[in-house]
Amino acid sequence: MVLASGLLALIVGGAFAVLLAAAASEREAADLAEHSQRVLAAANQLERLVVDLETGERGFVLTGDERFLQPWTGAQTALPDATDQLERLAVVPAQHARAGAIAEAVTSYVEDFSVPVVEAARRSDPTAGSVDTALEGKRRIDALRADFDRLRAAERTLATTRQDRDHAATTRAVTWAVIGLVGSVLLIVLVGAYLGRAIVLPIRRASTMAGRLAGGDVAVRMPETGVGEIGALERSFNIMARSLQESRAELTASRARVVAAGDDARRRIERDLHDGTQQRLVSLGLDLRSAEAMVPPGSDELGAQLARSAEGLAEAVEDLQEISRGIHPAILSRGGLGPALKALARRSAVPVELDLHVDRRLPASVEVAAYYVVSEAITNATKHAEPSVIQVDAEAADSTFRLAVRDDGAGGADPGRGSGLLGLRDRVEASGGRLEITSPPDGGTSLLVTIPLVDG
C-alpha cells in the first residue's frame, strides 16, 4: 500500500506539474505575443512620424505655405520619444540592432536632409525644389520604409516561432500527463478490488477529462467529490484546466485585439486619404481648371498642358479612391453591411444575387469580417472559377449572424494554398465565429460563416 501510494503520488504529481508548467508556458506565450504587438505598434507610430516629416517638408517646398510645417515640426518633436520607445521595446538583440539602425537613419534624414531642405526653401534656394533633391528624399524614405518592413517581418517571425514552440511543448506536456494518468490507473488496478473501487474509478474519470483537455476542451471540469488524495487530484486538475482556459482566452482576446487594431488603422488611413490627400488633389484639379480657363488667346500649348495636367490629376484622384476603397471601404463605416455588399455586387464582373436580411447595424468586427469574406469570395471566383452567378445570403438573427457565399464555378478551392482563405478564417475566428469552406472539383464553392452577436 505504501509503495503503491507513493508511486501513484509520484506519477500523478509529475503529470500535473507538467500540465501546470504548460499552462504557465501558454500564459508566457500570450505575454510575448502582446509584447510583439507593442513593438509593431511602436514601429508603425515611428513610421507615421517619418511620413509626416516627408509630407510636411514636400508640401512646404512645393507651396511655400508655412502651414505644412506644423505637422513637420510636431513630428520632429515626437521623434525622440518614438525612437526611444522602439529601441526599448525591441529587446531581442537582432531587433534591437535594427531599431537602433532605424533611429540613426531617421536622425540622419532629419538633420542631413529634411531640415536643410526646409531651410533652403525658406531662403528660396532653387535646389530645395530640384529633381535631384526630390529623388534623394525619395531614396531616403524608401530605405527607411524598407528598414521598417524588415523589422516588422522579423518581429512577426519571432512571434510565430515562439507560438509554435510553446504549442509543441504544451502538446508534449499534455501527452505525457495523459500517459501518466493512464499508468496510475493501471497501477491502482493491481492493488486490489477495494483499491479499485476507491481509487480506480476516479482516476479513470480524470483520465477521460485529461483526454478531452488534450483534445482542446479546456472548459472541462472534474466534480470535486473525492476525499484525501483523490480530492486533491480533482482540485489540481480543475486548477490546471482553469489556467489553460484563461491562457486560451488571453490568446483569443489578443488575436481579436490585433485584428481590431488592424481594422482601426485601415479605417484611419482611409479617412485620412479621403479627408486629406484626396481633397487636396481635388482642390488642385479645380485650380488647374481655373488656370486653364484664364489662359489668354494664342497660348494653345499652355492651355493643352494645363488640360493634360488636370486630366492626369483627375485620374490620380480616381486611383486614390480605388486604393482607399481597398484599404477600408468608407461605405461600410457610414452605411453598414447592407449598402457595402450592394456596392461590392455592383462592381463585380460576375452577376451577384443578394438576399440580405440585415435590418440593423452589427458590431464593427462582424461587419468588417463579413465584408471581406464576400469581397475575397467574389475576387477568387472571378479570377479562378469562371462562375455564371454568385449568390450571397446574409441574415442577422437575435444572437447569430449567418453568411453564405456560393458560386457555380469550377470549385477546387484549397484553403492551404495561398493566404486569402486562411486570412479570412483567422479574421472570422478572431470574432468568435466559424468559417466552413466546401469546394469539390467542378462543384462550385461555398463559404458558410457563423458569428455570435453576443459575448459567450
Instruction: Provide the residue ranges of all domains of the chain, joining segments of one domain with +.
Output: 1-265, 271-327, 330-452
pLDDT (average), residues 115-129: 86
Percent of all residues in the chain with a pLDDT value above 70, rounded to a whole number: 77
pLDDT-derived band of residue 208, with 50, 70 and 90 as boundaries?
A: confident
Dihedral angle at the C-alpha atoms of 318, 322, 323, 324, nearest 10 degrees?
Answer: 100
Question: Which set of grid coordinates corresponds to residue 375?
Answer: 469581397
| Rounded (5°) CA angle 420-45-144 | 80
Range among 198-207, 214-223, 233-242, 330-339 rated most confident: 330-339
**Helix boundaries (H) for 275-351:** 279-293, 300-327, 330-335, 337-347
- The neighbour count for residue 163, using CB atoms within 10 Å, is 17
Which value, in Å, is the radius of gyration of the alpha carbons in the chain? 30
* Amino acid, single-letter form, for residue 204: R
Cell of 278: 484626396
Q: Compute CA 3 distance to the chain's CA centroid, rounded to the nearest angstrom.
A: 54
Q: Are 106 and 144 in contact (CB under 8 A)?
A: yes
Q: What's the CATH code, domain 330-452? A: 3.30.565.10
Q: How far is CA 407 from the centre of its chain?
A: 28
Question: Mean pLDDT, to the nearest integer, of 169-181?
Answer: 74
Which of 94-103, 146-155, 199-208, 248-257 has the weakest average pLDDT? 248-257
The per-type count for the chain, helices as H runs and strands as E runs, is 14, 5
What's the whole-number mean pLDDT along residues 231-236?
74
Q: How is 175-216 classified by DSSP, letter by letter?
A: HHHHHHHHHHHHHHHHH-HHHIIIIIHHHHHHHHHHHHHHTT
- pTM score over 0.85: no
116-130, 323-337, 440-454: least confident range: 323-337
pLDDT tops 90 at residue 393: yes
* DSSP-assigned letter for residue 199: I
Section 434-438 average pLDDT: 90
3-state secondary structure of 27: helix
pLDDT at 307 over 80: no
